[in-house]
Amino acid sequence: MYVCLCKGVTCGAIRSAVQEQGAVHLRDLSRNLGVATQCGKCACAARQVLKDALDCSGCCGEASEVAA
Ligand code: FES
């Protein structure tokens, strides 16, 4: 599902950014994927997908580190 229509970013892309690039903040997604850098309407949804990905403790086969 698309989270950021302006930049064409999907939840899968956000999960990948967390697992492969170590994204832990919305600003990481903005820098790496361009999320919330245009209209900004996706910021809330992007934060939720980011939180869900960070809370995932191996349920999808990939453990992700959570920032302290
Ligand atoms: S929908 Fe993400 S910046 Fe517009």
pLDDT in 10s for each residue of the chain, 68 residues: 999 999 999 999 999 999 999 999 999 999 999 999 999 999 999 999 999 999 975 555 554 444 44
* Residue 13 structural domain: 2-55
Question: Does some domain include residue 50?
Answer: yes
Residue 64: the pLDDT is 45
The 10 Å Cβ neighbour count of residue 15 is 20
0.95 surpassed by pTM: no
Ligand 1 centroid from CA 57, angstroms: 28
Question: Does some domain include residue 65?
Answer: no
Ligand 1 centroid from CA 35, angstroms: 6
Could you give phi then psi for residue 67, rounded to 5 degrees?
-65, 145
Question: Does some domain include residue 49?
Answer: yes
**Ligand 1 atom at minimal distance to the Cα of residue 9:** 2
Going by alpha carbons, the residue nearest to atom 2 of ligand 1 is 4
